[in-house]
Structure 1
Amino acid sequence: MVVLTILMLVAGLVLGGCGQKKPEAPKEPEKTVIRFAHWRGEDKAAFESIIKKFEAENPTIKVEQSIEGSEKHDTKLLAEFQAKNGPDVFAVMPGARFANVVKGGWFLDISGEKFLDVVKPHLRLPGQDGGKQYAVPYQLVFNDPVYNKGIFEKYKLEPPKDWKGFLALCETLKKNGITPIIFDSEIGPGQFMNPMLMNNMPSDDALVKVQKGELKLTEDWFVTTLKQFKELNDKGYFQKDVLGTKKAGAAALFAQEKGAMLAQGSYMMASNKQANPNLKQGLLAPITVSADKMKYEGIHTATFMIAINKDSKNVEAAKKFMAFLFKPEIAAEYANATGQMLTISGVQYKTEELMEQAKWLEKKTLFQPRYMITVSEVEKAIVNSIMDVIGGMAPEKAALKAQQEVDRVIKK
C-alpha cells in the first residue's frame, strides 16, 4: 500500500512537470549599431581590439569599421553624406577635405564636449571653423623625410642645417652608390612640398594668400622652390622612374635600405620597422635657405581628425565611442600598436620610433602649409606643378601653369 502511494505521488509529479513551461531565456538587449569610417587599413587590428573593449563597457552599442583607401574614403564619404546615409563617426583630413564637409553642413558641433580637454587648444585648431569645433585631430604627424640612421652613421653624416649642406649630403650618398632620396609620385609631392616651402615662403600663410589672389605662384619664392625640386632631380638625387613609383613601392625600397631618405613622413616609421626590424630611423627636413635665414626646422600636421555625422541617428552612442578613443590609456594602446604619435596629453609611448618622434615636440615646426589650402583645385594645381617639373617642365612654366589654374578658380 505504501509503495502504491509513493508510485502515485511520483507519477503526479512527473505529469505535473510535463505541463509546466520551461522558463524563457532572457532576451538580448537590442543593440545600437554605429559605423566608424576611416582610411587607415593598417590600423584595422588596433581598432578591432579597442572596439572590443568599448563594446564590453557598453554592451548595448556595436561598432562596425568601414575602411577605404584615402582617396576613395573622401569620395565615398561625400556621396554618403549627400544621400543621408553617412557613417556615424568618421575620420577626415584637414584643409580642403575638412572644408568640403563644413560646406556641406555634415559635421556635428562638438564644442564643449568633455573629451576635448585632453587635446591642447592649439592642436584642436585644424578641426575648427567659425569658432566651432567640428573635428578633433587624433594623430600628430611630422611631414619630414624619414632617414636611415645606419647609413648616416656609416658615412659619418649629420642632418644638414642649410641648402648647401643638404646638397653636399645627397652628393656624398650618391657617390657611395646610395639613392639619396626615395620620392614617390602618389603622395610624395604633397608631402615633400611642405618642408621644401616652409623657409622659402614670404609668410606662414603664403598658400592661403595664393588662394585669395594676394600672392602669385609665379613669384620668386615659389619658383625658387620648384627650381630646388628640379636641382634634386637633375642631379640624380631621386631614384630612377620617380613618376612610376607609388607610395608602397617607395616604402619597400626604403625598408630594403636602397635609399637613405624617404620623402614622406613620420607616419611611415612604424610600417618601415615592421618591414625591416633592423632599421634605425630618424627624421630630418631639408633646409632650403642658409642657416641664418631658417625659420622652421620641420613640419607638423595634426591629422586623422575624428568627427561625428550631424545626421547620425545615434549621436549619443557616437559621442560615447569618440570619448572612449580619446581616453589616454586607450589612445596609448592605439599609438603603440600603430606607431602613430597622438595629440592627446598623458599618452605613454613605448616604441623606439615614437620616442624618436617625441624629440620633435621640442623643435620649431610649422603646421603643414598644404593643409592651409581650403580649395581642392588650388591644392591640386600646386602639387601638379611639382610633378610637372619632375617630368621635365621648366620651373617658370610650371609655376605659370599652376597660377593660371588658381586664377581660373578665383574667377569662378
Structure 2
Amino acid sequence: MTEHSRPSGPSRRRLLRAAVAGGTVATAAACAGPGTTRGPRPGTGAPSDVPPPVSGRATDHISFAHWRAEDKKILGELIDDFTRRNPGSKVRQDISPAQDYQANALQRLKNGSIGDVLTAFRGAQFADMLKAGLFTELSAQTFADEYLPHYSRGGRDEAGRLFGLPYQLVFPMPLANRDLLEKAGYDKAPQNWDAYLDLCDKLKSRGKVPLAWPGAEPGNAGQLFNAMVMNNAPGDDACARIASGKAKVTDDWFLKVLDQYAQLRPFVQQKAGGTQVEPAQQMFAKGTAAMLATGSYHMAAVRQLGAKFPIELVPPITVDKGERPRYVGTHNATFILGVNAAGKHSTTAMRFIEYLSDPAVAGRYANGTAQHLTVAGVTYKDKDLRDTQHWLERRTMLAPRYQIEDIDMLNAVEGACAKVLTGTSAEKAAEAAQRVVDQRRPG
C-alpha cells in the first residue's frame, strides 16, 4: 500500500496483526472484523439516525485545536501533504499548553470559531465536552474501521455511540535509564514492592535521584497514580466506584496506596511538590535522576534534551514478594480526535481525520513523535518505539485515573497522593479528599 492510497476497509490480516495491541490475540480476534469499531455496541438501544459517511471534497479552511506543541512540526508536514491532496483546503493549528487546554478548551471551542477538528483528554474532559454537545457522532464513518476496536471505548458515550477516536496509545508509567538501573544491580525491572524500594535505595546511594516527579503540574504528577493503583485496587472499576460513592478514599486498599506513596518520599527530588515537568525531564535526560514519573509520551522530549541512554518503562509493582501482580503496567488511549458539532466546515474536518487515520500517515506521525498509536497496521521505525513495542503485548491496565470524570473529584483523589508524597499523613489526606468526593457526587 502506498502512502497515497488507502483500502476500502481493514483486512483480516491487519486486524489480526493488530491484535497484540489489545492485550491478547484471543481478545482482539473476538472483536475483530469489518464494522466492529463503527456503530453502537449491540444491545445498547442507541438510535440509528447517525450522521452518514462523509461525502464531498475538502475545500475549506479549518482549525485544528490541540495541546501537543511538541508535535507541531510533524503535524505541519502532514497538513502540507493533506492540503496538496485537497486543493483549496487549509488547516491551522490552534495549540494551547496542556494544562490550559484541560482548563479552558470547552469554553474556547463551544462556538465553533476554532477547533473544527478538536481533541480531548480521555476521561473528565471528553465527558464534559460530550455532555456540552461539542462532538459530532462518528459511528457511521468508515475510516473508524482503521482503529483497534479494543481502544475505542474512550471515545464513546454511555450508549456505545462513537464520538471521538483516541489516536495515541501511551503507557503512563515511569521512564527509566536502563544504564543506571543496571549499575544499581537491576538488569531486570523489580517485580514486587520491596524490590522496587530496594532499587530506589541503591540508586540513591549512588548519588542519583531515584524518581523525578513533577509535583507542580497535576496532569503529569498524577500519572504515577495509575501504576500505584493497578495492583492495589480490589477491581478494575475501583476508581469508578469511588466516583459513584460505592467505595471511599478512606477504604483500606486506598490507604495502602497512600502508605506506599509515603514510602517514596525519600526517593523523589527535593521540593518535588514545586517541580514543573520541564525541570523533571531535564533531570532525567542529564542522568541526575534515574527515572521520570510521567510516561512514554515524554520519550521524544527527553531525547530532544540530549538523553543518549537506552530507555525502559519501569512501573512500580506494588505487590508483596512472591505474589503475582494482576498487571505489569498501564496504558491509555487518548488524544481523542473529533469534529466540532458547532463548526461550519464538517466535511473538511471529517476528511482531515480520515487522512490522519490512514495507517501510512499515522505511521509518519508515530515515528515523528515517538508515540504508539491506536491505528492498526502502523510500522514503528523509531528506536524507542521499537524498544518499547513489546508493551503492546503485555498485560496492562487501562489507566484508572480517568475513571473519575469529575475534574474536581479527580484533583482531590490524586491530590491526596501528592500531599502524602510531600509529607501529609495518609489518614489526614484521605479524609480531606473524601470530603471533596462527597461534595461533588451528584445527589
TM-score, normalization by structure 1: 0.90
Count, aligned residues: 382
Aligned-pair identity (%): 37
- Deviation readout 1:388-410 (Å, 9 max, x if unpaired): 21232110110011011101112
Q: Match for residue 360 of structure 1?
A: 391
Match of 2:275 among 245, 265, 269: 245
Alpha-carbon distance in 1 for matches of 2:110, 2:307: 44
What SS does the corresponding residue of 2:441 show, helix, strand or coil? helix
Counting only pairs closer than 5 Å after superposition, residues 206-225 of structure 1 correspond to structure 2 as 206-225=238-257
Moved over 6 A (4+): none
Alpha-carbon distance in 1 for matches of 2:291, 2:162: 37
Q: Match for residue 191 of structure 1?
A: 223
With 184-193 and 212-221 compared, the bigger mean Cα shift is at 184-193
Match of 1:202 among 225, 234, 259: 234
- Deviation readout 1:40-62 (Å, 9 max, x if unpaired): 10000000000000000001211
Alpha-carbon distance in 2 for matches of 1:225, 1:76: 31
Normalized per residue, the structure richer in helix is 1
Match of 2:180 among 151, 166, 173: 151
Q: Match for residue 388 of structure 1?
A: 419
> 1:277 Cα shift?
4.6
> 1:293 Cα shift?
4.2
Alpha-carbon distance in 2 for matches of 1:144, 1:331: 23
Counting only pairs closer than 5 Å after superposition, residues 187-336 of structure 1 correspond to structure 2 as 187-233=219-265, 236-290=266-320, 291-336=322-367
Does the 8 Å CA contact 1:182/1:253 hold for their aligned counterparts? yes
Does the 8 Å CA contact 1:119/1:344 hold for their aligned counterparts? yes
- Listed as ranges, the gaps of 5+ residues in structure 1 are 1-29
Matched, 1:110 2:138: yes
> 1:128 Cα shift?
0.5
Does the 8 Å CA contact 2:184/2:199 hold for their aligned counterparts? no
- Listed as ranges, the gaps of 5+ residues in structure 2 are 1-57
Aligned-partner residue type, residue 247 of structure 2: L
Matched, 1:163 2:193: yes
Alpha-carbon distance in 2 for matches of 1:355, 1:386: 33
Question: Structure 1 pair 82/308, CA: closer, same or farther in 2 (3 Å)?
Answer: closer
Does the 8 Å CA contact 2:209/2:267 hold for their aligned counterparts? yes
Does the 8 Å CA contact 1:194/1:299 hold for their aligned counterparts? yes
- Deviation readout 1:93-118 (Å, 9 max, x if unpaired): 01000000111011100002111111
Counting only pairs closer than 5 Å after superposition, residues 34-53 of structure 1 correspond to structure 2 as 34-53=62-81
Alpha-carbon distance in 2 for matches of 1:283, 1:45: 26
Does the 8 Å CA contact 1:107/1:307 hold for their aligned counterparts? yes
Does the 8 Å CA contact 2:112/2:344 hold for their aligned counterparts? no
Question: Structure 1 pair 182/74, CA: closer, same or farther in 2 (3 Å)?
Answer: closer
Q: Match for residue 101 of structure 2?
A: 73
Alpha-carbon distance in 2 for matches of 1:84, 1:188: 29
Alpha-carbon distance in 1 for matches of 2:437, 2:411: 10
Q: Match for residue 90 of structure 2?
A: 62
> 1:188 Cα shift?
4.0
> 1:203 Cα shift?
0.7
Alpha-carbon distance in 1 for matches of 2:152, 2:348: 22
